[in-house]
Structure 1
Amino acid sequence: MDTPGALYGFAPPTLTGHTVKIPGWTGRLRIAHITDLHFGVVTPMAIQREAVAQVNAAKPQLTVLTGDFICRGRSFLDRMTETLSAIEGPKLAVLGNHDHWSDGPGVRAALERAEVEVLENAWTLFGVGEDALPIVGLDDYGTAHHDVDRATRGLGATPALALSHNPESAPLLWGRGGPKVVLSGHTHGGQLHVQGWTEAIWRKLVNVKYLSGFYTEEGFQVYVNPGVGASVVPWRYGRPAMRTVSVLNLEGG
């Protein structure tokens, strides 16, 4: 039974669905969002494979991945490529802090072998006609690889979706006017989440404002996906930290 204090341990990801409105946009787009897969010794590969299976079963038009693909070295890159190659349809990604700490260029190359387009401080237009949506990819904020000017160059105030591993970068993107919704990961929802305590500890010790779920500020929004893998211990505790694959139905707002 799912409870706020459940110990999820090695449980598979939970598939969640949300409708997200993008102000000023007139289209519709169904996407899957996965993050923090952390291929490595801490997370059993069965969990990552199940996440991919859930994505394919949801039949999104696009899958976006918001960083931290590996954990503690590059020895799992080939297995990462093999697993992510199984995701059907177009795939866009940004890198996270663990990717840069381990081997940023190597992770990018492994993603490209899996036919994942990596956005490094750049944006692309996905879809056609009224469904066309600019998607901005901001490189990792926590390791200072981000460049908001470069990522949004030429976009102006055109309504857009943004991908950024670290949710604390969201206000920088909102400040450019175009990116209305930012999809992130990084926090694992606190990973070991004790209601009321985890939020306070993260804010005080590491200055984290956005921990898990949706946050809205002045018409802009950031979604912090708790992610799939783990980087220190393999367990997840508490509903805000449960392993998550998200399906987002984007529509005009």
Structure 2
Amino acid sequence: MKTLSMIALISVLSFAVSQWSTASTITFKEKDGSTTTITNAEIVAIKDGSVVIEKDKKRRSFPLSSIATYSQTDATSGGTDKSLPGEFSDYKITIMDVKSPDKDRISGTSSKTSSASEKSAAVEIEYNLTRLNPEIKRIKAPYVYIYLLLPPSNDSGEREVVRYCFPDAAKPKGKGYDEAAIKEKVNGFDRRIIDEGEREQNLRTELKNMGSEKVKFDLKGIRGRRLIAYHIEVWGTDSIVAEKDWQDFDSNVSKKWWERY
């Protein structure tokens, strides 16, 4: 009976490939017995027991046997799009160090701290990642956000908040702090996946200090300014796994100021 069901499913998927359907809903079977549903997906190819699916301009391959159901209509209204199918380990992040430019480098108040130093101004974050499920080798790459509080840039007298993201794919829509928009990116189908083998290779070639990883943000567009405060968020599988804050000793800042811009 299962064989007949699989044959029927393959037939449907093959038809979908020939029709290049762009509004499909696909449900996957997970190892723990649950299911994951993705919407607005497209079946691109079926080959050697795998199916290639495109969503959000990103193509990924999955075992054909992992598909439970397929519908050529977009069933977004019928349930929640649960991001990427498959098993991913949760992890914790420990922020080890944050190197930020001093006030003189950002403000450029003297001739010695003009364009050359301002262009080189950067914030560098060093963190350590530890998987919480050693038996699960894959993780979703961390998404790092830093918010900088700066003095007013015009006559309005209001301080300005500038946001930087890593990687570029983590950048949410809009300029203000929008947790829903961030979660949309965090749960995106195009989010980078890191497996144990890849991470071990990175540790040999890119990472230093016993597995710590560094992220550098070039502070473009902040000339003639000084840094009042910063807030750092690192998002893991589907939530914030690390935060760090700093503020200038001589400045007063409101609670969760980064959420108010």
Bin of the TM-score, shorter chain as denominator length:
under 0.3
**Bigger relative contact order (CA 8 A; separation at least 6):** 1
More strand per residue: 2
Alignment TM-score, normalising by the size of structure 2: 0.20
